[in-house]
Structures are given as structure tokens and as C-alpha cells.
Amino acid sequence: MARTVHLAVYDTLADWEPGHATAWLARAGHEIRTVGATTDPVATIGGMRIVPDLALEELRPEDSALLILPGGDLWDTGDDLAPFAAAARRFLDAGVPVAAICGATAGLAREGLLDDRAHTSAVSFYLAATGYKGGEHYVDADAVTDKGADGAGDLITAGPTEPVAFAREVLGRMGAFEGARLDAWYRLFHDSDPAAYEELNA
């Protein structure tokens, strides 16, 4: 399986949303590569400057184990990020997982990718405002993994306040942690459970 994980980056990217997932995937041996609309630098909401490793036109599902789409203000202010949602469609069609959080879920909704898949987001009416047809598949949960069908890739979704739950689904899907160790990781970073540290590092 490809060991490269692609993280989409764009102006207004929400800094806090992908960090747990990318850090622990890297620790598990995955290479994290950033992909922008071009290779021009972008600036996150927090003002961090990121120079993308590659441009979106160079991104191929067959070179990737996962595409992560963070939230960002631009998802809700126009169509600038629509090409990233289109890339997500190509990944899912090729059987490669996609993980989207916060505003990126609205981008996927506009692309029609949530019409037939279990998913979540900030709140149901946030996605309803996109005019999508998948309201009956909305799940009121911190994070949701839809296993896909007919060879389509898995889709992970979460709302903006759940970066740890989002990472739990990503890390589990990618095999970074499994079973009791995945549960311990979540309890440590979500619940600040000191006992989980010993379990995670046993």
C-alpha cells in the first residue's frame, strides 16, 4: 500500500484540525506531503506560511494512501476550493480514502459526495444550506467513517471541534493504532486520562 498521505493546503486552512492526524501518521511511518492549488505559498488562519510540495494537477490517487481535506474559510466564500472536492471524487472513485473536516465537508456536499454516504459535520443545517441531497445520511456524531461500496474508498468526516475524534478515525483506518491502543490514544488526547499513557506505550 502507498505510504504517502496527502494533506490539502490553502489560504485560511484551519491549523488545529489536521495536526493530530498528520503527526501520528508520520510517527507511524507515513510520509506527509502537502498539495496546494499551485506550489505558491499559502497562509493558514493562524498565519503560518506553507509551501506546498506539489500542485493539485500533479496529485494522483494511485500515488496516495489518503487525502486529508482540512477546513478553511474559503470553503464557504466561493468556489476557489471546488477543485479539491473534485480531487476527492477521483480518490473515492479509485478506492483511496478521503478524510474531510469542518468546511471541507460542505465542499464534499456540494460535489455530491455525501448524498449516499454516512457522514457528519459541524451541524446538520450547515450542510443542508449547501442544497445537497444527503440529509438522511447525516449522523450526529463526533466523527464518522463510511466504509464505501462498490469499490469506492472510505470517507471520514468530522466537525471543526473534533480534531481528536477525526484523528482517531484516520489513525484507525490507516492502521497507525488498532484496538486497545487506538482507544488508549483517544482517551489520552481527548479525555486526558493518565492511565491511557501507560497503555499506549506498553
CATH of the domain at 72: 3.40.50.880
Question: pTM for the whole thing?
Answer: 0.96
Angle at CA of residue 173, ends 168 and 178, nearest 5° = 70
| DSSP structure class, residue 30 | P
Cell numbers that stand for 131 in this block: 442544497
Query: Torsion-angle region of residue 148: left (phi > 0), alpha (psi -120 to 50) or beta?
Result: left
Residue 30 near residue 3 (C-beta atoms within 8 A): yes
Report, as residue numbers or ranges, the catalytic residues: 102
**Dihedral sign (CA 143, 174, 15, 129):** negative
pLDDT at 155: 97
- For residue 167, which of 140, 180, 185 has the smallest C-alpha distance? 185
Instruction: Give the separation between CA 201 and CA 98, rounded to whole angstroms.
Output: 28
Domain that holds residue 22: 4-200
Q: What is the tally of structural domains in the chain?
A: 1
pLDDT tens, per residue, the chain with 202 residues? 469 999 999 999 999 999 999 999 999 999 999 999 999 999 999 999 999 999 999 999 999 999 999 999 999 999 999 999 999 999 999 999 999 999 999 999 999 999 999 999 999 999 999 999 999 999 999 999 998 766 567 999 999 999 999 999 999 999 999 999 999 999 999 999 999 999 998 7
Q: Is the dihedral of CA 147, 179, 141, 77 positive or negative?
A: negative
Pairing of strands 66-69, 4-8: parallel
pLDDT tens column, 107-150:
999 999 999 999 999 999 999 999 999 999 999 999 999 987 66
